[in-house]
Structures are given as structure tokens and as C-alpha cells.
Amino acid sequence: MLTPKKKISKKEIKQDRLVETYFKLKTFFEENQKTILISLGGLVVAVLLVIYFVNRSKERDIESTTLLGNVIGLYEQGQFQQAIDGNPAKKIKGLKEIADEYDGTESGEAAKIFLANSYFNLGKIDEALKYYEDYDGDNKLFKATAYAGAAACYEAKGNKEEAAELYLKAAKVNPSEVYTPEYLLYSARLYAELGKKETAKKLLEQIKKEYSNSAQARDYERYIVEFQLQNE
């Protein structure tokens, strides 16, 4: 009596094909090993390097995030110099070391903003400006802060024109009911001081129209008088 043929499942068919393909590739590789290694050697090295640097980048992101989390408490307490320098006794790296060592990672870039703010609060304007301008992260809030921080530095150095333009850039990067009207107001104030009163008034009108619920919009008339824009 003939034994009924066993029905082969789709899974088994796929496995058989996979095994067959594997041995075909293995045989081909063994027969052409020298040629393949010569032609693909550079590509293999490049792929391995990409894999290494991607994984290394992830490690650096995790490291920088952890280090920033350790030091941010000092910054929030207003201990700006200690936040900059860190606390070796407690194994806390400072913002400067994090910003310099982890340049290019998101947390390393964020550290530049906190570092710049710390310098600014200590009256070290040139140091603050350096790190505001060096920010190169993707976070729009930090990018706007970098522009606004740089604007404040230029204003402190007496360059009102540059400051006014940077406040406008800050306003455009990350439109927000909280920060944008404030940046527009700062820019309007500086343009008024520079004698560009028409530009200043247009900015105040923009606040009133686009951010009508903001405190700056509610005080529109006061700013018109304060900036001497009644006839513009």
C-alpha cells in the first residue's frame, strides 16, 4: 500500500528555497571569492564605518543627555558659574565641557543654549554670543532662543541694527503665542530707537493682528505712545 504523500506547507517551501539560495550564493562566493573581495572591499569598509558611527552617535546622544540632566539643576538654581564649570567632587560635568565635547548631538547643542544663558547672566557677553551663534541643533525653540540671545548680546554691545534683525529671526523660527509677540516687540522697540518708526509701527500692528490675545497686543496703544509712533 502506497503511503500518501505528505503535503508540503508554504513555510517549508520557503525554507527549502532559502536553503537552496544560500548554498548557491555560498558556492558562487567560494568560486569568485578573490574578485568579490577586491571589488566590494571598499564598500564593506564604508558600510562598517557607517554602522560604527551611527551606533557611536547614539551612544554620544545618550551620554550627553545624561550629563546635561546631571548639571541642569545647578543652572535652574541660578548657580551659573558652577553650572558652567561643573562639580568634579560630585562627578558633574559642566555645561562648557558638555557643549564642547558633545558638539553635534542634540543634548550637546542644547547645552550651548544653557551655557550661553549662564554666561549672559554673569555679564560675560562675548562668551554668551559665541555659544548662541554656535548653536546648530534642530530644536526650533532652542534655535529661536539662540537668535534672541544673540540679539540681546548685540544690543548690550550697542549694535541695535543687528539686534533688531535677530529678534525678527527669532520670531519667525518658531511662531508661538508666548514668545513671538515678545520678540516682535523687542524688535519694534529697537527699530523705533533707530528712527525706523514705520517699521516699528508695522511690527506692533502685526502683534495686534496675529497675536491679539497676547499681553503685548493688549498694550498696543501704550507702546505706540512709548515708542513715539503716533504720527506714523
Q: Which long-range contacts (CB under 8 A, 24 or more apart) does 1-7 make?
A: none
Q: What pLDDT, in 10s, does the model give residues 72-105?
A: 999 999 999 999 999 999 999 999 999 999 998 8
Predicted structure pTM score? 0.75
- Residue by residue, DSSP assigns 112-174 as HHHHHHHHHHTT-HHHHHHHHHH---S-HHHHHHHHHHHHHHHHHTT-HHHHHHHHHHHHHHS
Please write the tens of the pLDDT for every residue from 174-221: 888 989 999 999 999 999 999 999 999 999 999 999 999 999 999 999
Q: Name the band, by pLDDT with cuts 50, 70 and 90, for residue 46.
A: very low
Neighbours of 54 (CB within 10 A): 10
pLDDT at residue number 65: 87
Name the pLDDT band for 1 (thresholds 50, 70, 90): very low
- Enumerate domains of the chain plus CATH numbers: 42-138 (1.25.40), 144-232 (1.25.40)
Question: What is the percent of the chain with per-residue pLDDT over 70, rounded to a whole number?
Answer: 75
